[in-house]
C-alpha cells in the first residue's frame, strides 16, 4: 500500500511540474487580454494558475475514483459527489431486492423440479414435419 501511495505521489508531483511549465512554453501573445492588465507576467501567472487548478481538480477526481467514488457532476462551479448516506441506503435496498429475487428463483426451481418429476421422463421428439413444396407458377 505504501508503494502505491509513493508512486501516486511521485506521479502527482511530476504532473504538477509539467503543468506549471505549460503556460511558459506558449508563445507570447501579440495582443494581451484585458484580464492580464497589459502585463505579460500577469498573463503567465494567470495561465499557470488556470492550468495548475485544472490539474488539481483532475487529480482530486482520480484520487477519489481510486477509492470508488465517482463524481455526480463536474461543472464550472466545481465537482459534486453523491450523498454517501443516500448511496448506502440505495445499496441496502437493492441488496434486499436481490435477496428476494434469489429466494424466488430457488422457489421456482423447486417447483419446476417437482413438475418434471410428476410428469415422468421426457418424451422423445418425433421427426420434424415435412417441408411443403413451393407453389406452382402460372
Taking only the tens place, the pLDDT of each residue in 73-130 is: 888 787 888 787 887 898 899 999 999 999 999 999 999 989 888 887 777 777 888 8
Tell me if 20 sits within 8 A of 54, measured CB to CB: no
Tell me if 19 sits within 8 A of 51, measured CB to CB: yes
Tell me if 79 sits within 8 A of 73, measured CB to CB: yes
Domain boundaries, the chain: 2-69, 73-111
State residue 103's pLDDT score: 95
Q: How far apart are CA 31 and CA 64, in angstroms?
A: 40
Q: First vs last Cα of the chain: how many Å apart?
A: 83
Stated pTM of the model: 0.44
Amino acid at each position: 500500500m505504501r508503494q502505491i501511495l509513493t508512486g501516486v505521489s511521485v506521479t502527482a508531483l511530476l504532473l504538477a511540474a509539467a503543468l506549471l511549465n505549460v503556460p511558459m512554453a506558449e508563445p507570447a501573445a501579440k495582443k494581451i487580454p484585458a484580464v492580464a492588465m497589459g502585463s505579460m507576467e500577469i498573463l503567465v501567472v494567470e495561465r499557470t494558475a488556470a492550468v495548475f487548478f485544472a490539474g488539481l481538480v483532475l487529480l482530486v477526481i482520480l484520487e477519489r475514483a481510486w477509492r470508488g467514488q465517482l463524481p455526480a457532476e463536474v461543472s464550472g462551479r466545481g465537482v459534486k459527489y453523491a450523498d454517501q448516506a443516500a448511496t448506502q441506503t440505495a445499496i441496502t435496498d437493492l441488496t434486499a431486492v436481490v435477496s428476494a429475487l434469489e429466494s424466488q428463483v430457488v422457489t421456482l426451481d423447486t417447483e419446476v423440479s417437482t413438475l418434471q418429476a410428476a410428469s415422468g421422463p421426457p418424451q422423445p421428439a418425433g421427426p420434424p414435419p415435412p417441408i411443403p413444396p413451393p407453389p406452382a407458377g402460372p
